[in-house]
A and B are shown apart, each in its own frame.
Chain A
Amino acid sequence: MEITPWEKVKLARMSLRPTGLDYIDRIFDNFLELHGDRYYGDDHAIVGGIASFGDLPVTVIAQQKGRNTKENIMRNFSMPHPEGYRKALRLMKQAEKFHRPIICLIDTPGAFCGIGAEERGQGEAIATNLSEMMLLKTPIISVVISEGGSGGALALGVADRVYMLEHAIYAILSPEGFASILYKDSSKAERAAKEMKLTAQDLQEYGIIDGIIEEPQGGAHNDHDQAASNIKAMLEKELKELINLPIETLLEQRYQKFRGI
């Protein structure tokens, strides 16, 4: 049976769905979390660190939802503040220095909207990531694991390969926000979800993403291990290809990938 876009939105937001750390545990070994942006603080909505992927040292960055309400409050429902994006950039620059590939797991409703976020330059933090990621001299792979919401998702999404899980969504903003702007009625989110074209299948057709990672029957929440091993298989294949590319070719291809949209 065909799953409607709105059902996908609900699937992607399901609390039983594996989070960034669930995947990190299953895909990588020796994950060591590295905290803080070195300017202001440590944002719990983004986790990052170093790990090994097989024999290969990598840098992993993930937007992290909580597994329950208490955790979600601590993680700010995976809505990062500017210091989260600055931490991510710090770790990415570190990865570049030590020639480690970067893997980003995207899962956020969007960058946080609040007084502190504005005071500390949410726009500047995202903008800087967009332009800096374009020049990083190391391979980057981003995977939208559940929700890819707006610039807050894109700030970890300027990559050589962008994948989405089968039931993940990626859009300019939430269907509710979209409906409230365009139809002046946030309850028309279902209609918005259809018209926005936010499913992995739509985005692959448009050439926005490079591929779709299959989920276990019924969705990733049914079998975390299987979902993780599907991501792992993709990473193995893509990393092998990317780390063998000359840096100039890699960067030129990254530029052209976004230039063409």
Chain B
Amino acid sequence: MNMNPFKSKKYAISKIYRARPQEIVRPIRDIPEDEKPNVPQGIMTKCPSCGNMIYTKSLCTNYNQCNECGYNFKLSTYERIAIITDKGEFEEFDKSLSTEDPLSFPGYRDKLENTKSKTGMQDGVVTGKGKIDGCPVMLAVMEPAFFMGSMGTVIGEKLTRLFEQATKEGLPVIVFTASGGARMQEGIFSLMQMAKVSAAIAKHSQAGLLYVTVLTDPTTGGVTASFAMLGDIILAEPGALIGFAGPRVIEQTIGQKLPEGFQRSEFLMEHGFVDHIVSRDQLKSTLGMILKLHANTGI
């Protein structure tokens, strides 16, 4: 006979707990084909964060955000530009610029062709000039679906040209980052793009011009260690993964699980590396306000 009341209690609980899977059997209903509810593919979308079922059409009108938990579904580059810029006010630069495969890396060209036809883009960033709430601005948006938004020579070159043009015209620059890091297949050339873009940003900054970055999910690696972190103002979408090393690499290096929320936007703001977290529906008005505040140089 066990006299310890806690022990016997624990035993009782664990018995109930263990009994559950065997005793509760859910009847499986066989629904005939014609009685199944007719829901066409794609009409509803499940939120991967909270599990909420969302009417896909309402998702589109809500900036691809979950209406329950605010989870940000991926936005394609052109969707993003449409949401951010004033209607009909975006002129794209260097649209056809494509990589020359500097290392002649085995298999890279085939994979590129495949990705190009899938995404309809020549590489992972769209750059151009547009207007936000009437303010002219140079804009770059990275495409996470293109080689995971990795930065190679084309992204480096397009961004450098954008900053150089902005410096020439005296315009602010806004960059939406999304990147898994450097483009492996372009090796050392990818690495050097970090220096190249940072150099162009330094000159733009020296000219007293405004640079705003908006960090979206995910922003990691060489992009974090260069232009993502160089904004005068750094905004982030809620819950975006932002870091230098990816969480998997860190876990492998230090051999322990990472804490909840590690490397998310909120974590970065807490540690002083993000100025403000802005939800998608507020982005355009926030950016517009920032641009207006910098349009006339105070004194």
On A, residues with C-beta under 8 Å from B are: 111, 113-115, 117-124, 126-128, 130-132, 134-135, 150-151, 154-155, 157-158, 170-173, 177-178, 181-182, 195-198, 203, 206, 208, 255, 258-259, 261
Please give, as numbers and ranges, the residues of chain B lying within 8 Å of A128 by CB-CB distance: 229-230
> Are the C-beta atoms of B271 and A131 separated by less than 8 Å?
no
Question: 25 A-B pairs, CB-CB below 8 angstroms?
Answer: A118-B243, A118-B250, A118-B263, A119-B271, A120-B271, A122-B244, A123-B224, A126-B225, A126-B244, A128-B230, A130-B194, A130-B199, A130-B225, A131-B230, A151-B221, A151-B225, A158-B195, A158-B198, A170-B188, A172-B182, A172-B184, A182-B184, A195-B105, A197-B103, A206-B102
Whole-angstrom distance between the alpha carbons of A171 and B190 in the complex? 10
> Are the C-beta atoms of A123 and B191 separated by less than 8 Å?
no
Please give, as numbers and ranges, the residues of chain B lying within 8 Å of A177 by CB-CB distance: 249
Interface of A: prevailing SS: helix
**What's the least CB distance linking A259 to chain B, in Å?**
6
On B, residues with C-beta under 8 Å from A are: 102-103, 105-106, 160, 182, 184-185, 187-196, 198-203, 205-206, 221-222, 224-230, 243-245, 249-250, 253-254, 258-259, 262-263, 271-273
Q: Which of B201, B249, B253, B273 contacts A124 (CB 8 A)?
A: B273
> Are the C-beta atoms of B202 and A131 separated by less than 8 Å?
yes
Please give, as numbers and ranges, the residues of chain A lying within 8 Å of B105 by CB-CB distance: 195
> Are the C-beta atoms of B187 and A198 separated by less than 8 Å?
yes
> Known contacts A154-B195, A195-B106, A261-B189: does B228 contact A123 (CB below 8 Å)?
yes
Closest to A127 in B: B229
> Are the C-beta atoms of A114 and B254 separated by less than 8 Å?
yes
**What's the least CB distance linking A252 to chain B, in Å?**
10
Please give, as numbers and ranges, the residues of chain B lying within 8 Å of A171 by CB-CB distance: 187-188, 191
Please give, as numbers and ranges, the residues of chain B lying within 8 Å of A158 by CB-CB distance: 195, 198-199
**What's the least CB distance linking B185 to chain A, in Å?**
8
Whole-angstrom distance between the alpha carbons of A181 and B150 in the complex? 13
Please give, as numbers and ranges, the residues of chain A lying within 8 Å of B205 by CB-CB distance: 131
Please give, as numbers and ranges, the residues of chain B lying within 8 Å of A258 by CB-CB distance: 192, 195-196, 199
> Are the C-beta atoms of B188 and A122 separated by less than 8 Å?
no
> Known contacts A127-B225, A128-B229: does B244 contact A115 (CB below 8 Å)?
no
> Known contacts A122-B244, A127-B228, A178-B184: does B196 contact A259 (CB below 8 Å)?
yes
Q: Which of B160, B182, B192, B250 contacts A208 (CB 8 A)?
A: B192
Whole-angstrom distance between the alpha carbons of A182 and B150 in the complex? 13
Q: Which of A121, A127, A134, A135 contacts B271 (CB 8 A)?
A: A121
Closest to A196 in B: B187
Whole-angstrom distance between the alpha carbons of A206 and B160 in the complex? 20
Whole-angstrom distance between the alpha carbons of A182 and B263 in the complex? 24
> Known contacts A121-B229, A121-B273, A122-B245: does B192 contact A113 (CB below 8 Å)?
no
Most buried by B among A113, A127, A134, A171: A127
Closest to A132 in B: B202
> Are the C-beta atoms of B225 and A122 separated by less than 8 Å?
yes
Closest to A172 in B: B191
**What's the least CB distance linking A111 to chain B, in Å?**
7
> Are the C-beta atoms of A131 and B198 separated by less than 8 Å?
yes
Whole-angstrom distance between the alpha carbons of A151 and B200 in the complex? 17
Most buried by B among A131, A132, A261: A131
> Are the C-beta atoms of A172 and B187 separated by less than 8 Å?
yes
Please give, as numbers and ranges, the residues of chain A lying within 8 Å of B229 by CB-CB distance: 121, 123-124, 127-128
Q: Which of A115, A121, A132 contacts B250 (CB 8 A)?
A: A115
Whole-angstrom distance between the alpha carbons of A157 and B198 in the complex? 13
**What's the least CB distance linking B222 to chain A, in Å?**
6
Whole-angstrom distance between the alpha carbons of A127 and B263 in the complex? 17
Closest to B205 in A: A131
> Are the C-beta atoms of A154 and B194 separated by less than 8 Å?
yes
Whole-angstrom distance between the alpha carbons of A114 and B105 in the complex? 31
Most buried by A among B200, B221, B222: B222
> Are the C-beta atoms of B243 and A123 separated by less than 8 Å?
yes
**What's the least CB distance linking A122 to chain B, in Å?**
4
> Are the C-beta atoms of B224 and A261 separated by less than 8 Å?
no
Please give, as numbers and ranges, the residues of chain B lying within 8 Å of A151 by CB-CB distance: 191, 194, 221-222, 225-226, 244
Q: Which of A117, A130, A134, A170 contacts B244 (CB 8 A)?
A: A117
**What's the least CB distance linking B203 to chain A, in Å?**
7
Please give, as numbers and ranges, the residues of chain B lying within 8 Å of A255 by CB-CB distance: 199, 203
Closest to B247 in A: A118
> Known contacts A126-B225, A259-B199: does B194 contact A115 (CB below 8 Å)?
no
Whole-angstrom distance between the alpha carbons of A92 and B226 in the complex? 19
> Are the C-beta atoms of A172 and B188 separated by less than 8 Å?
yes
**What's the least CB distance linking B229 to chain A, in Å?**
4
> Are the C-beta atoms of A118 and B262 separated by less than 8 Å?
yes
> Are the C-beta atoms of A261 and B196 separated by less than 8 Å?
yes
> Known contacts A134-B199, A157-B195: does B188 contact A113 (CB below 8 Å)?
no
